[in-house]
Amino acid sequence: MRGWIIPIGGKLLSSAILERFVTLSGGTDARIAVIPTASNEPDMGTYFERVFQRQGVAQVKALNFDRRTDCDDSDWLAWLSQATGVFLTGGNQLRLSTILGGTPAATQLRHLHAHGVPIAGTSAGAAFLSEHMIAFGDEGSTPRAGMVTLCPGLGLTNRLIIDQHFRQRDRMGRLLTALSYNPFCIGLGVDEDTAAFIGPDDTLDVLGSGAVTVIDPSKISYSSVAEAAPGDPITIVGATVHLLGPGSSFNLQTRRAEPAALHESFVSGG
């Protein structure tokens, strides 16, 4: 059974989000690998080591994959192979894809996840979790041709395109543009201090102080993106949008959303 996928929208991380990730990773017995590759800040890994130590985690280690040559370091890969939880920090998602992509470290992350290890990412780390990653794009509410650039991500799921800092940075337009290219994926726009906990059964639960915007493109009947010139607004007919607050859920297979009042299976500890 595969592990949980946990995209977090960035900025502050509430204690409830951290506690649930730690619980899913094994509680005080967890062995958490922190990967600060996205960040240019040299102490980012150390910062999150302390964050998880304050959560009572006995074993936590920052693996500073700063260059592609670091990604086949035998000692770090050995430590990573025994991790019970992985946390990817924020920064620049292109640093994650260009440094980790195609390396033994990325292969190890997918292997761990396939064997039940939860993998969380905040901000850039959230965007990187899926197969289709937003590399960069413009802000704004209206989708426009050429507004967003996609590239391959880590590949833990091919069902999603994830965007972070969502409502704080007005990113509805670029997520809609990304989905218009091929309306196969579901779009997740995750607010700051908010997480989508996606379980092995493909049910997503929302936790945090904000909301998750779910865009389901499966019923799109028309998109003008193929004919639009760069910068032109795109017409999209038939997309379904859900705004899900804390405790709400969405099933990625049935595409059914449930508000918190009806989602009786939501348990903050997992």
Active site residues: 123, 165, 192
Burial class for 138, CB neighbours closer than 10 Å (0-12, 13-18, 19+): middle
For residue 3, what are the contacts with CB-CB under 8 A and spacing of at least 6? Answer: 112, 113, 114, 115, 116, 117, 118, 119, 200
Pull the structure tokens for residue 206: 């929302």
Is residue 258 a contact partner of residue 12, using CB atoms and an 8 Å limit?
no
For residue 182, what are the contacts with CB-CB under 8 A and spacing of at least 6? Answer: none
Q: Give me the torsion for CA of 52, 249, 244, 24, rounded to 10°.
A: 0
Is residue 3 a contact partner of residue 116, using CB atoms and an 8 Å limit?
yes
> Nearest CA to 65 among 24, 36, 92, 97?
36
53-75 as b/e: b if 16+ CB within 10 A = eebebebbbbbbbeeeebbebee
Per DSSP (E only), the strands in 131-210 are 132-137, 148-152, 160-163, 186-190, 194-198, 203-208
Place of tokens 């193929």: 226
